[in-house]
Amino acid sequence: MSDLANDVPAIEMHKVCKAFGRKTVLLNLDLAIRSGETYAILGGSGSGKSVCLKHMNGLLRPDSGHVRIDGVDITHLSESALIDVRKSCGMLFQSGALFDSLSVFENVAYPLREHLKLSKAELAERVKECLAAVGLSSSQSLMPSELSGGMRKRVGLARVIALQPKTILYDEPTTGLDPGNSRRIGKLIRSLQERLRVTSVVVTHDLELCFAIADRIGLLKDGAMVSSGSVGEMRDSTHPVVRAFLRGDQDASLDEIESS
């Protein structure tokens, strides 16, 4: 990891601010994620985690500040110029975001059809490989409405890895899943990370998942990064907000924490 630390960060956010109407969501957010690591962004609900993640592939643009991917500033890139960034940066959405009108096969084939010129046989082979990687080889012909929550996320993940991205962004990958399915998704994220050597950014409030898969953790509160460090450093942190979050008191304000 030490030689990676000298490299240009895979994802860097510098003094990013974002507001929706009068509501400020991100406030001078600074963040650097190294290539090949799994970085977990922890935070309570409404802390700006998902908004932060959507800046990393240009789905949202900052009001001020900069977002750099592999050293390239993507803050002001046009939608067409962002295509290359998005091809190498897959995103798993909270609900899976599968296309309801398309079968599982068609969902996974979607990005392949969009960006690669594959023959029918090659396409089928590639889709099969991706579905096998998430343990859903036999579900190709099902429609998204026939899938359980966990299966939807796994199909979403198969669709993400279809283009063999360098980076995968996970938005709340275990939300809404039972503990068994959550652990399964966690293992899947870890195995994909090891096998594909991708940079992973996981937004979550699930501490168990976070400690199981992350190399480093950042804690987001009120739109700013409160603390960031390796799993061990965060566990041993004396920072009051980190301590409160790890205790399970996710939404306590700093004033409340200090007064207690």
Partner 1 sequence: MIPQAKVEVRVERVGSGALDGLRRLGDFCLLCVRTWRSAFRRHFPVRECLVQIESVGVRSLVIVGITSLFTGLVLALQTVDSLTRFGAKPYTGSLVGLAIVLEMGPVLTALMVGGRVGAGITAEIGSMVVTEQVDAIRAMGADPIQKLVLPRMLAVTLSLPLLTILADIIGILGGLLIALQHGITRHFYFQTIFSSVTLDDFISGVAKTFVFGWLIAMVACSNALATRGGTVGVGHATKRTVVIASISVLISDFFLTKILLTIL
The contact set with partner 1 (CB under 8 A) reads: 54, 57, 59, 79-80, 82-84, 86-87, 90-91, 93-95, 97-100, 110-111, 114-115, 159, 163
Q: Which is nearer to partner 1, 18 or 159 (CB)?
A: 159
Q: What is the 3-state secondary structure of the chain?
A: CHHHHCCCCCEEEEEEEEEECCEEEEEEEEEEECCCCEEEEECCCCCCHHHHHHCCCCCCCCCEEEEEECCEECCCCCCCCHHHHHHCEEEECCCCCCCCCCCHHHHHHHHHHHHCCCCHHHHHHHHHHHHHHCCCHHHCCCCHHHCCHHHHHHHHHHHHHCCCCCEEEEECCCCCCCHHHHHHHHHHHHHHHHHHCCEEEEEECCHHHHHHHCCEEEEEECCEEEEEEEHHHHHCCCCHHHHHHHHCCCCCCHHHHHHC
Q: Which is nearer to partner 1, 163 or 241 (CB)?
A: 163
Q: Which is nearer to partner 1, 112 or 214 (CB)?
A: 112
Q: Which is nearer to partner 1, 18 or 86 (CB)?
A: 86
Q: How far is the CB of 93 from partner 1 (least distance, A)?
A: 5
Q: How far is the CB of 96 from partner 1 (least distance, A)?
A: 9
